[in-house]
Chains A and B, each alone.
Chain A
Amino acid sequence: MANHTIAQNVYVPFLEKKGIWSWILTTDHKRIGIMYLISISFFFLVAGVFALMLRYELLTPASDFVQPHTYNVLFTLHGSIMVFFFIVPGLAASFGNFLIPLMIGAPDVAFPKLNLGSYWIYLLGTLIVLIALAKPADTGWTFYTPYSATTDTDVVLITLGVFVLGFSSILTGLNFIVTIHKMRAPGMTWHRLPLFIWASYATSILQLLATPVVGITLLLLITERTLGVGFFDPAKGGDPVLFQNFFWFYSHPAVYIMIIPAMGVISEIIPVFARKPIFGYKAIAYSSLGIAFISFLVWAHHMFTSGISDIAATIFSFLTFLVAIPTAIKVFNWTATLYKGSIHLHSAMLYALAFVFLFTIGGLTGLFLGALAADIHLHDTYFVVAHMHYVMIGGTVMGFFGALHFWYPKWFGRMFNETVAKIAWLFIFIGFNVTFFPQFFLGVQGMPRRYATYPAEFESLMSLSTYGSWILGAGIIIMTVNLIAGLINGEKAPQNPYGSLSLEWQVPSPPPLENFEEIPHVTDWSYGYGKKK
C-alpha cells in the first residue's frame, strides 16, 4: 500500500472554494459527485413521498384518497423517478464520481469537462420530465405499448426526458471506462483494484451497451405518437410485444446497472469493519463481469406471459438461472469474509449486513420468477413488487445508505451522530420488512400489481404493508436529518477513522483539490488486513 502524506501547508480541501459558479462550472469529480448526490437524493425523497401516497391510498380497498387515474399517475411517477432519476444514475454517478479517481490514484476522471457535461445533461433530462408533469403520464415506468401510444396523457415529454438522461448515463459510463483503463496509478494493476472499481467498470460497460437500445426504443415510441409510425401498432402491421423485447433488452441490464455498484460498496465496507481481506477477490470481481454479460441474455424473463413462444420462454428461463450463480457466489464470499474477523458494527457495516440479508431474500425470491410454471402464477402480482423492492431497496438503497455513512467523513470532512444513525437503521430495517414482506404473500394469493382498488380479502396484509411504509419513512427522515445535522455541526473527521487501507483514506478528509500531491505508487492491494502467516 502506498504511504502517502500531504504537507499541511499546501493542503487545499476541494470544498474550500465558495460561490455558485465554483459549482456550476466545476470539473472536479468530487464536486460533480456532490451535485449528483444532492440531485439523486432529492429525487429519491420526492419519489419516496409518491410511494407513501400510494401506500396511503392502499390502506383500504376502495379508492378514497385519490381517484384511480391519479393513483396510476402516482405509480408512474414513483417508478420513473426512482428508476431513471435516482437509482440508475445513483451510486454510479455520485459515489462512482467521488471514488473512482481517488481509489485508483488519479487526480480526476479522464474527461473532466465531459463529466460536467454529463451532469448538466442529467439535469436537462430531469427538467424536461418536470415540464411533462403538466399532464403527467399514466403508463407505468415501463411505457408498454399500445397503452403508451394511445393514452392522452403526456408520454412524449417524459420519454424524451428519459432519452436525454440516457445520454448522461452513456457519457458517464464511457468516462469511467476510459478512466479505469488509462488513469490508474503506477502499480495499480487490475488485480489490485478495489472491488468498487470492478463493479463500476462492469456497470459502465452495461451503461454503454444497453442505454442506446432503450434510447432508440423510446425514440420509436415518440415517433409512434408524433409521426404515426406503427412499429408497435398492430393496426399498422406492428407488434406491441416488440416494444417489450426492446424495452427489456435495456431494462434488464439496467437492473444490474442499479445493483452492481451497491455490490461494490458492500465489498469495500465489509473487509474494513471485519479487519479481514475480502474473501474470494477474483470470484467477486469476475462475477460482476459475469453478471454484466449474462444480463444481456435474460430480458424475456419479464415476458413469460406476454405471448412469446414456448421455446423462447424456456431458453430465457434457463439463462435466468445462470445469472443466479455469480450472484450467489458474491453472497457466500461476503459472508465468509466475516469469518474470524474483528467485527465492528458501525452504522455503515449494519447497512452492509442488512444488504446481504435482504438481498439474499431478493435473490432467492427471484428464483420463483425465473421458474416458468411459478412465474405464470406470480407474474404481475405483488410478489414481483416485493421481489423488486427487496433487490432495489434491500440491495441498492442499503448499499447507497451504507456508502453514505461509510464515506461521509471522507467526502465532507465531518462526522455524523453514530447513535442516531443506528436508530435510523433500525427503523429502516424494520419498516422495510414490514412494508414488503407481506407483499410476497399478497402476490402468492393473487393480488395483482398496479391496482388502485382491490378486493377486500387482501385488506389486512395491504394495510400492514402501509403501516410498514410509515416506519420506513420515519427511518429515512431520521437518517436524512442526522446526516444534514452532521454537515452543520458534526465533529471534524480524521483522515482515516476506520483504519482502511484503500487509497482514498490516505489523503486528508475532505480530499485536496487534485486528490494527491504526488501520484502514489501502489505496491499491494487494498484488502491486506490481518496478520500474514
Chain B
Amino acid sequence: MGDASVEHSHGHHMDPAVEYSSSKLGMWLFLGTEILLFGGLFAAYAIFRAKYPEMFFEQHVELNKKMGAVNTCILIFSSLTMAMGVSAIQRGKQKITAILILITILCGLGFGIVKYFEYSAKFHHHIYPDTSIFFSLYFLMTGLHMLHVFIGLAILGVLFVLTLKGKFTAKYNTPVEIGGLYWHLVDLIWIYLFPLLYLIG
C-alpha cells in the first residue's frame, strides 16, 4: 500500500492524528488480506499434507535446510533492524534510521540471493513446480513470498530515499511505521513457511 506514504500531501483538511490512525488501520486491514491470500495456499498445504503424508515426508528432505535456516536468520535480523529504524525515526534520528533501513534492504537482497541459489539447485536436479504436489506448494508458497519480499524491498527503497531527503521527523513518520509493518508481515509469513516446508516431514 504505497499510497499511504504519499497521503500526507493531500491531507490539508485531514487532522494529522486522524491521518495517522487511518493509515495504520488501512495497513492492518491490508495485512489481513495478505494473510488471507496466503491462507488459500496454507489451506491447500493442510489438505494435501493430510492426503499424502508420505510424499511430504520423502520430498521435504530434498530442500536445503541449511539455506532455509540461514534465510530465516537473515529475515529475523532484518525485522529487528526495521523495528530499530522505526523507533529511531520516532526519536527524530534520521541518519540512524537511514542506515537501519539500508541494512534491512541488504538483508532482503541477501535473502533473495540465497533463494536464487536454492531455486537453481532445484532446477539443476530437475525439480520444477510440476514435479509433485509438494514441490508445487514449495515453489508457489516461496515464490509468492519472494514476490512480497521484492514489493517490500521497493517500499523500503522509497523510504530510504525519503529518509535521506529528510522527509520524516519525530512528528511525522507514518510511512516508515506502516512500511515497517509490511516488512514484518513478510518476515512473519516466512517464519511459518520455513518449518512447514523444510522441517516438518
Given contacts A208-B32, A213-B40, A246-B40, contact A110 B22 (CB under 8 A): yes
Please indicate the chain A residues that have their CB under 8 angstroms from the CB of B38 in the complex: 216
CB-based contact B136/A111 at 8 Å: no
CB-based contact A216/B22 at 8 Å: no
Please indicate the chain B residues that have their CB under 8 angstroms from the CB of A238 in the complex: 133
Q: From A175, which residue of chain B is reached at the shortest CB distance?
A: B26
CB-based contact A242/B22 at 8 Å: no
**Does A488 lie at the interface of the complex (its beta carbon under 8 Å from any beta carbon of B)?**
no
Q: Kindly identify, within residues 98 to 130 of chain A, every residue whose CB is under 8 Å from any CB belonging to chain B.
A: 107, 110-114, 117
**Does A174 lie at the interface of the complex (its beta carbon under 8 Å from any beta carbon of B)?**
yes
B4-12, B63-71, B72-80, B161-169: which lies at the interface: B4-12
Please indicate the chain B residues that have their CB under 8 angstroms from the CB of A112 in the complex: 10
Q: Kindly identify, within residues 201 to 256 of chain A, every residue whose CB is under 8 Å from any CB belonging to chain B.
A: 208-209, 211-213, 215-217, 219-220, 223, 227-231, 236-239, 242, 246
Q: From A231, which residue of chain B is reached at the shortest CB distance?
A: B44
**Does B52 lie at the interface of the complex (its beta carbon under 8 Å from any beta carbon of A)?**
yes
Please indicate the chain B residues that have their CB under 8 angstroms from the CB of A237 in the complex: 48, 51-52, 55, 132-133
**Does B29 lie at the interface of the complex (its beta carbon under 8 Å from any beta carbon of A)?**
yes
**Does B13 lie at the interface of the complex (its beta carbon under 8 Å from any beta carbon of A)?**
yes
CB-based contact B26/A110 at 8 Å: yes
Nearest CB in chain B: distance from A279 CB, A? 33
**Does B34 lie at the interface of the complex (its beta carbon under 8 Å from any beta carbon of A)?**
yes
A215's contact among B3, B10, B37, by CB below 8 Å, is which? B37
Cα separation A223 to B40 with both chains bound (whole Å):
14
Nearest CB in chain B: distance from A245 CB, A? 9
Cα separation A112 to B44 with both chains bound (whole Å):
36
CB-based contact A208/B29 at 8 Å: yes
Proximity string of chain B (13-31) to chain A, C-beta cutoff 8 Å, 1 when within and 0 when not: 1000010011001100110
CB-based contact A216/B33 at 8 Å: no
Nearest CB in chain B: distance from A477 CB, A? 39
Chain A CB within 10 Å — which of B1, B129, B136, B140 has the most?
A: B136
**Does B36 lie at the interface of the complex (its beta carbon under 8 Å from any beta carbon of A)?**
yes
Please indicate the chain A residues that have their CB under 8 angstroms from the CB of B132 in the complex: 236-237
CB-based contact B47/A182 at 8 Å: no
B3's contact among A107, A117, A183, A229, by CB below 8 Å, is which? A117
CB-based contact B25/A178 at 8 Å: yes
Q: From B29, which residue of chain A is reached at the shortest CB distance?
A: A174
Q: How many residues of B contact A (CB 8 A)?
A: 39
CB-based contact A230/B130 at 8 Å: yes
CB-based contact A236/B13 at 8 Å: no
CB-based contact A181/B33 at 8 Å: no
Chain B CB within 10 Å — which of A110, A171, A183, A514 has the most?
A: A110
CB-based contact A111/B4 at 8 Å: yes
CB-based contact A242/B47 at 8 Å: yes
CB-based contact B7/A113 at 8 Å: yes
CB-based contact B130/A227 at 8 Å: yes
Nearest CB in chain A: distance from B28 CB, A? 10
Please indicate the chain B residues that have their CB under 8 angstroms from the CB of A230 in the complex: 130, 133, 136
CB-based contact B33/A212 at 8 Å: yes
Given contacts A212-B40, A213-B39, A216-B37, contact A111 B133 (CB under 8 A): no
Give the A-B pair count, Cβ closer than 8 A: 109
Cα separation A27 to B10 with both chains bound (whole Å):
9
CB-based contact A231/B136 at 8 Å: yes
CB-based contact B130/A228 at 8 Å: yes
Proximity string of chain B (34-61) to chain A, C-beta cutoff 8 Å, 1 when within and 0 when not: 1011111101100110011001000000
A174's contact among B21, B30, B43, B47, by CB below 8 Å, is which? B30
Given contacts A174-B30, A242-B47, contact A212 B36 (CB under 8 A): yes
Cα separation A227 to B132 with both chains bound (whole Å):
12
**Does A170 lie at the interface of the complex (its beta carbon under 8 Å from any beta carbon of B)?**
yes
Given contacts A117-B3, A212-B37, A229-B129, contact A223 B29 (CB under 8 A): no
Please indicate the chain A residues that have their CB under 8 angstroms from the CB of B48 in the complex: 231, 237
CB-based contact A113/B129 at 8 Å: no
A228's contact among B13, B18, B22, B129, by CB below 8 Å, is which? B129
Cα separation A208 to B48 with both chains bound (whole Å):
26
Nearest CB in chain B: distance from A156 CB, A? 15
Proximity string of chain A (346-371) to chain B, C-beta cutoff 8 Å, 1 when within and 0 when not: 00000000000000000000000000
Please indicate the chain B residues that have their CB under 8 angstroms from the CB of A110 in the complex: 22, 26
Chain B CB within 10 Å — which of A178, A213, A242 has the most?
A: A178
A216's contact among B40, B52, B136, by CB below 8 Å, is which? B40
Chain A CB within 10 Å — which of B1, B36, B48, B140 has the most?
A: B36
**Does A177 lie at the interface of the complex (its beta carbon under 8 Å from any beta carbon of B)?**
yes
CB-based contact A227/B129 at 8 Å: yes
Given contacts A107-B13, A230-B136, A231-B133, contact A182 B44 (CB under 8 A): no
Nearest CB in chain B: distance from A301 CB, A? 19
CB-based contact B129/A111 at 8 Å: no
Q: From B35, which residue of chain A is reached at the shortest CB distance?
A: A212
CB-based contact A178/B30 at 8 Å: no
Please indicate the chain A residues that have their CB under 8 angstroms from the CB of B37 in the complex: 212-213, 215-216
Cα separation A231 to B51 with both chains bound (whole Å):
12
Cα separation A271 to B146 with both chains bound (whole Å):
52
Please indicate the chain B residues that have their CB under 8 angstroms from the CB of A175 in the complex: 26
Please indicate the chain B residues that have their CB under 8 angstroms from the CB of A212 in the complex: 33-34, 36-37, 39-40
CB-based contact B10/A174 at 8 Å: no
CB-based contact A182/B3 at 8 Å: no
CB-based contact B47/A223 at 8 Å: no
Please indicate the chain B residues that have their CB under 8 angstroms from the CB of A236 in the complex: 130, 132-133
Please indicate the chain B residues that have their CB under 8 angstroms from the CB of A223 in the complex: 129, 136, 140
Proximity string of chain B (122-144) to chain A, C-beta cutoff 8 Å, 1 when within and 0 when not: 00000011101100100110001
A-B contact pairs, 15 of them (CB 8 A): A107-B13, A114-B7, A174-B26, A174-B33, A177-B25, A182-B22, A209-B36, A213-B36, A216-B39, A216-B41, A227-B130, A227-B136, A231-B44, A237-B52, A239-B47
Residues of B within 8 A of A (CB): 1, 3-4, 6-7, 10, 13, 18, 21-22, 25-26, 29-30, 32-34, 36-41, 43-44, 47-48, 51-52, 55, 128-130, 132-133, 136, 139-140, 144
Give 7 A-B pairs besides A174-B29, A211-B33 with Cβ atoms closer than 8 angstroms: A113-B6, A114-B3, A174-B30, A219-B144, A229-B129, A238-B133, A242-B47
Residues of A within 8 A of B (CB): 27, 107, 110-114, 117, 170-171, 174-175, 177-178, 181-183, 208-209, 211-213, 215-217, 219-220, 223, 227-231, 236-239, 242, 246, 514
- Counting from the closest, the 9 A-B pairs by CB-CB distance are A228-B130, A216-B40, A212-B36, A212-B37, A114-B3, A229-B136, A227-B129, A182-B22, A110-B22
